[in-house]
Amino acid sequence: MTEIRFYHLEQRRIDQALPTLLELALEEGRRVLVRASSEEMVGALNERLWTYDDASFLPHGAADDGDPMEQPIFLTSALENPNAATMLVRLSGAETGEADEAFDLVVLMFDGRDEMALARARGDWRKVKDQGRTISYWRESDEGGWEQARYARAALAATQCPQSLKCLFLSLGNSQALWRRHPLDRLSRGPPPPFHGGG
């Protein structure tokens, strides 16, 4: 069954947080599909992934960049999987479809400062929770990494918040025992556990 992770951005923009996640996915040998909400966003992300770090290189492409099967990371706004990816990164506002069930891992990344994005994330959370899926909820740490809600009940309570998912942080954020480091967090001590083991 597809694992689903919610990534709640509060400090960085999507284009700032996405490259690190993609780097670690590639290190584990994953092929990744990034689905954006528009072709304009695809174009902006395509450019960003070439320029975000002078010392790094993320092999990627979009529809105009040749054979998708040669791209370990493919950017699109369509309901497709032309590079045979096993991991989908679905950005806020992007389409979803039944074919998404074929991915081993689906990451839903949204900007917590955008009320519309928060509302969509709450709706997605309720939907996948009701379906009995394997889901987890991650937030940015103060150090720029990721932390996961340790207790599923606490994360699920966020869907009942009358304001936003941010209520989870207000109730639990000061209790460090309720959070653990994300395996993608480069600032944690020692080598990170496998990407697939962080759910």
- Asked if residue 194 belongs to a domain, the reply is no
In Å, how far are 50, 53, 81, 113, 180 from 138, measured between CA atoms? 26, 24, 25, 15, 9
- Asked if residue 143 belongs to a domain, the reply is yes
- Asked if residue 128 belongs to a domain, the reply is yes
- Asked if residue 197 belongs to a domain, the reply is no
Closest by CA to 13, choosing from 75, 100, 94, 92, is: 92
Outline where the chain has alpha helix (H): 14-27, 39-51, 115-130, 152-157, 166-172
Six-digit token string for 179: 């959070």
Residue-number span of the structural domain to which 83 is assigned = 3-185
Could you tell me the CATH number of the domain that includes residue 52?
3.40.50.10110
pLDDT tens for the chain, 199 residues long, are 899 999 999 889 999 999 989 998 999 999 999 999 999 999 999 999 998 888 878 999 999 999 999 999 999 999 999 999 999 999 999 999 999 999 999 999 999 889 999 899 999 999 988 888 889 999 887 777 788 876 444 444 444 443 444 433 333 333 333 344 443 333 233 333 344 434 3
Outline where 39-143 has alpha helix (H): 39-51, 115-130
Q: Cα–Cα distance between 23 and 91 in angstroms, integer?
A: 17
- Asked if residue 199 belongs to a domain, the reply is no
pLDDT at 172: 36
pLDDT at 23: 92
Identity (one letter) of the amino acid at 136?
A: S
Q: Cα–Cα distance between 92 and 175 in angstroms, integer?
A: 28
For residue 35, the cross-strand partners are 76, 90
Q: Read off φ and ψ for residue 33, nearest 5 degrees.
A: -110, 125
- Asked if residue 192 belongs to a domain, the reply is no
Q: Cα–Cα distance between 34 and 188 in angstroms, integer?
A: 26
Contact between 98 and 117 under an 8 Å Cβ cutoff? The reply is: no
Closest by CA to 37, choosing from 140, 123, 146, 111, is: 111
Q: Characterize the bridge pairing of strands 105-111 and 87-91.
A: parallel
- Asked if residue 195 belongs to a domain, the reply is no
- Asked if residue 65 belongs to a domain, the reply is yes
**DSSP letter, residue 94:** -
Q: Cα–Cα distance between 39 and 180 in angstroms, integer?
A: 35
Taking every pair of Cα atoms in the chain, the longest distance, rounded to a whole number of angstroms, is 49
pLDDT at 145: 78
The number of folded domains in the chain is 1
pLDDT at 39: 96
pLDDT at 150: 61
